[in-house]
Amino acid sequence: MRTAYLCMFMVMFLAVCSLFPGAAMAGPAPREEEVYFANGEVRLAGTLLLPHVDKPVPAVVFVHGAAYHDRKDNWEEAEYFARRGIAALVYDKRGCGASSGDWATASQFELAEDALAAVLLLKKRPEIDARHIGLWGMSQGASIIPLAAVRSQDVAFLIPVSGCLSFDRQMHYYRANLFRQRGLPDRLLDIANKASLLSNDFARRVRNGLPVPTAWRLRCAFDTDLDSSSEWAKVRQPVLAVYGALDRAVPVAQSAAGLRQALLLGGNQEWTIVIYPGAGHSLGTTDTGELYEPWRGYVPGFLDGVTDWVLRRAAGGRSSGDGLKGTAQEPVLPYTAAHYERLAWYGNSLVQLPMVLGFCLVFAAGCLSWPAGFLFRRFRSARNPRRPQIVSGLAQALCAINLVLLAGLVVLVQAVSDQIRPSCPPALRLLPSAGGLSALLSVLLVAFTARAWRSGVWMRGMWWWSFIALAAACFLPFLFYWDLLGTPF
């Protein structure tokens, strides 16, 4: 009877494993060894997972994506690789876990050098086949691994997972899906996109030599404007690129086609691009691909397919460029990248930041110094003594409203720029209405100013509120650009 139950259990176990490939990993649990390596002054800590074999084995270094990551984030994949006979090195990203440094102030090239330091460590290990050490890069890591590959012949192959070619375009896609998921209106998405372009443009100018404090310079070190297409065109190592068809963080169809074109342009002779159906950004099983949904495990066939490819290469197998395997359909975005490229002449940091500073100074002076009121009382017209007081009050009220708009815009940009939980505080939803009131007062002030100049009255005092009127007129296109004219959000 016991034998019958045991046989039934084994049959059921094998059936489950056939339905969920990779649920039961082949081979015994790997050996784990704490390792340390350095890139300049940065000391990195990690764990090397080794299979139980008596000969040198191929190895993979796992390179992290954006933000904070330690070795635990790649542990599941690393253990799977090691059980399949492939050594795996997972490490704490600089500034994370037991590693020194600061990932927030590192460039892509510095992060690539961290990965090469891990490759150098593996190359010296007797358990590792030094001819077959590759790099796995997830998301942002997929843009870092080609930088390492073109700088070292020690990298034997690359496995980019859910990578993109342009961070700006990728973030447009990501934010559109994130704002839709959180139920935020398109106008707030437009503000977040414009704020991101402004920030990236400022960072690029800082990297190109714009003098700023050291702390600002460090925060601008990550080169978001790096042309990943040109870097991939230099890669000669074999490439296995994988994507999830339902990815809502990276535009898969566009990214896969761009990667294929770059590899062909560079003359790479061995590459494969696979798009897995039913998979999200992390190649996990998903029905919708929505961002930050609960983890349900890797899509069937993914880990087996990747490890099979590595083992086949280590055994001497080769494959020619296989083209794209699979398709992905991306949702239509409310604002395309081309939309912002057409507005780059106005929305860049060289224009926007001086404008914000200038508007703040002018409107603050109008509110705090009250020179217009004193001048209007001194040079009051005999024909209409009340008109200067009306215009003075109008100018001062307009300055106060515009200062509130500028302060509200700064707070709003901070709120919608959160890359995980963007929001709009209830009080700030009325900013467009305040912008409409500002536009009405600006028209009235310009009209009073023009009429006064034409009549030739108060010539000695009109210069101040005429200057306010000019600033208010220039402020209107600024409000329109930042979607602060119209109905509430």
Same domain, 119 and 247: yes
DSSP state of 330: P
Number of domains in the chain: 2
For residue 340, the tally of other CB atoms under 10 A from its CB is 18
Is 20 part of any domain? no
Question: Is-contact 176 240, C-beta < 8 A?
Answer: no
Edge-first strand order for the sheet with 87-91 is: 31-39, 42-50, 87-91, 57-63, 128-138, 157-161, 239-244, 271-276, 324-325
454, two tokens? 């034409």
Of 270, 299, 332, the position where a domain reaches its end is 332
3-state DSSP assignment of residue 149? helix
Burial (Cβ within 10 Å: 0-12, 13-18, ≥19) of residue 323: exposed
Same domain, 104 and 151: yes
Cα 74–29–53 angle (5° rounding)? 105
Same domain, 408 and 364: yes
User: What one-letter code names the amino acid at 328?
Assistant: A
CATH of the domain at 174: 3.40.50.1820
Of 270, 302, 332, the position where a domain reaches its end is 332
Same domain, 405 and 260: no
DSSP state of 251: -
pTM as predicted = 0.88
Same domain, 352 and 296: no
Same domain, 252 and 276: yes
Tens of pLDDT along the chain (489 residues) come to 444 433 443 334 333 343 334 334 567 899 999 999 999 999 999 999 999 999 999 999 999 999 999 999 999 999 999 999 999 999 999 999 999 999 999 999 999 999 999 999 999 999 999 999 999 999 999 999 999 999 999 999 999 999 999 998 899 999 999 999 999 999 999 999 999 999 999 999 999 999 999 999 999 999 988 989 999 999 999 999 999 999 999 999 999 999 999 999 999 989 999 999 999 999 999 999 999 999 999 999 999 999 999 999 999 887 655 677 888 888 888 998 888 988 899 999 999 999 999 999 999 988 876 554 454 454 444 444 455 667 778 888 999 999 999 999 999 999 999 999 999 999 999 999 999 999 999 999 888 888 877 776 554 456 777 889 999 999 999 999 999 999 999
Is 3 part of any domain? no
Is 192 part of any domain? no
Is 457 part of any domain? yes
Same domain, 324 and 357: no
Same domain, 37 and 173: yes
Is 189 part of any domain? no
Is 438 part of any domain? yes
- Name the residue range of residue 438's domain: 348-481
Cα 126–131–132 angle (5° rounding)? 95
Distance of CA 154 to the CA centre of its chain: 29
Is 281 part of any domain? yes
44: which strand partners? 37
**Strand segments (E) across 218-377:** 239-244, 271-276, 324-325
Question: Is-contact 340 197, C-beta < 8 A?
Answer: yes
Is 2 part of any domain? no
What gap in Å lies between CA 165 and CA 145, rounded to an integer?
12
